[in-house]
A and B are shown apart, each in its own frame.
Chain A
Amino acid sequence: QITLKESGPTLVKPTQTLTLTCTFSGFSLSTGVGVAWVRQPPGKALEFLALIYWDDTERYNPSLESRLTITKDTSKNQVVLIMTNMDPVDTSTYYCAHDSVGDRGFDYWGQGTLVTVSS
């Protein structure tokens, strides 16, 4: 059974750096597997942020790439997303999701974590 869970601060101040952790079980970041981050501002659409694959391939949303870093710790079954210079417009629910090579889509999602950016 594949599960993912996001953790991190619920409130950050403008200009601060956000660090979110996705802890997963039921799979390992082995061949053919990746973990993605997707966010959703309140009442708005989904937005892809970043993706990391088993082979350390990284993909980023070009409009946010300068602010994002995605890393993995295979031994801990965790993927970490770092977003710098947070702004109130970054207030969103942040989701992590399981991806597998073979065009199977984001087939398992975490419950999401709401991050509010406010002074």
Chain B
Amino acid sequence: QSVLTQPPSASGTPGQRVTMSCSGSNSNIGGNSGYWYQQFPGTAPKLLIYRTNQRPSGVPDRFSGSKSGTSASLAISGLRSEDEADYYCAAWDDSLSAVVFGGGTKLTVL
């Protein structure tokens, strides 16, 4: 059971805006930066968002991150078929002194 809670699945149609949530606590999301990773089957995760809402170089601005209280969110606008992947949230947890991950959300583009 993961420390951060993500819905197991999400879906949308091409062009649509999709959001996915990541619920934590004051010791992780509430007090620290949130991160998002994208993973395609059989490949390593890729950093999508850091410091809650920053995009690494090369990540399209269709991807955006935000936080409210102890929850973080990832939004994807202008959904494309190539966005179909697993998305994981992560954060540092002050109580555990460790990085914690969510259980992942599988995004399906219908």
Q: Residues of A with Cβ closer than 8 Å to B?
A: 36, 38, 45-48, 51, 59-62, 95, 103-107, 109-112
A48 to B99, CA, bound (A): 6
Of B18-26, B43-51, B75-83, the segment with at least 4 beta carbons within 8 Å of chain A is B43-51
Query: Across the interface, do B47 and A105 meet the contact criterion of CB distance under 8 Å?
Result: yes
A residues near B68, Cβ cutoff 8 Å: none
Q: Which residues of A contact B50 (CB under 8 A)?
A: 103-105, 107
**Per-position contact with A for B28-63: 1 when CB-CB < 8 Å, else 0?**
000011010101000011110111000010000000
Residues of B within 8 A of A112 (CB): 44
Chain A residues near B85 (CB-CB < 8 A): none
Asked if B35 and A105 make an inter-chain contact with CB atoms under 8 angstroms apart, the answer reads yes
Say yes or no for B109: interface residue by CB 8 A criterion: no
Residues of the B chain whose Cβ atoms lie less than 8 Å from the Cβ of A107:
47, 50, 56
Asked whether B98 lies within 8 Å of A45 as measured between CB atoms, the reply is: no
By beta carbon, the residue of chain A nearest B36 is A105
Q: Which of B51-110 contact A (CB under 8 A)?
A: 51, 56, 88, 90, 96-104
Q: Please state if A62 and B98 are interface contacts (CB–CB under 8 Å).
A: yes
Q: Which 9 A-B pairs have the closest CB atoms?
A: A105-B50, A109-B44, A48-B99, A105-B35, A103-B33, A46-B101, A45-B103, A45-B104, A103-B51
A103 to B49, CA, bound (A): 11
A45 and B44 form a contact (CB under 8 A): no
Establish whether residues B47 and A60, one from each chain, have CB atoms under 8 Å apart when the complex forms.
Answer: no
Q: How far is the CB of A102 from chain B (nearest CB, A)?
A: 8
- Taking the closest CB of chain A, its distance from the CB of B42, in whole angstroms, is 9
Could you write out 9 A-B pairs with CB less than 8 Å apart? A36-B99, A45-B101, A46-B88, A48-B100, A59-B99, A95-B44, A103-B51, A104-B50, A106-B35
